[in-house]
Amino acid sequence: MTSHPPVTPSQLRTVLGHFATGLTIITAATPDGPAGFTCQSFASLSLDPALVTFSPARTSSTWPLLRAAGSFTVNILPAEHEHLSGQFARSGSDKFAGVGYTASPLGNPVLDQALAWVDCELHQEYDGGDHTIVVAAVRALAAREAAEPLIFYKGAYARVHRTPALQGALA
């Protein structure tokens, strides 16, 4: 068996940062008020049953609050929410300061101008190393048309540049 040098966290961050994603803020209504955290690791998982997945860090102080709430809303961020991505990544701060929102069907915060939102209930949690893999059941969802997504790529925020030809083909 060939031996490989161990993969380092820094290598993982640099190389896997080439995988461009959208960004979300996952929110819930808790007994102590609204809670939420910025989350890149969101993905669709299953159509039937309707499931999505995301991975909170074991160190997250917000995930235990969302888990206890049992239901939460994935807010998919539009380009204009770059500042909220930073705001909801600061542990221990008043993350909802100056943030407008309405209640989802399950009663969780839907951020004003969210590109889309997905109302979920906790389905399963699995071990994911220093993260936990959450599988959530989708109960309701909606999208805002005519808005652009916020993108995260190589550790920085980016925006989508769609070519006119491709836009036409997908219309």
Ligand X SMILES: Cc1cc2nc3c(=O)[nH]c(=O)nc-3n(C[C@H](O)[C@H](O)[C@H](O)COP(=O)(O)O)c2cc1C
**Which residues contact ligand X (rule: CB under 6 A)?**
23, 37-41, 55-57, 60-62, 85, 88-89, 91, 152
Nearer to ligand X, 13 or 144 (CB): 13
Nearer to ligand X, 14 or 61 (CB): 61
Give Cα separations from 110 to 59, 77, 116, 148, 156 (angstroms): 25, 11, 9, 17, 25
Gap between the Cα atoms of 135 and 122, Å rounded: 7
**Residue 143: CB minimum distance to ligand X, A:** 21
Gap between the Cα atoms of 149 and 135, Å rounded: 23
DSSP 30-76: ETTEEEEEEES--EEEETTTTEEEE--BTT-SSHHHHHHHSEEEEEE
Question: Any alpha helices (H) in 55-140, and if so which ranges?
Answer: 63-69, 82-87
Nearer to ligand X, 32 or 48 (CB): 32
Nearer to ligand X, 50 or 89 (CB): 89
**Residue 107: CB minimum distance to ligand X, A:** 20
44: β partners = 52
**Residue 4: CB minimum distance to ligand X, A:** 26
**Residue 90: CB minimum distance to ligand X, A:** 7
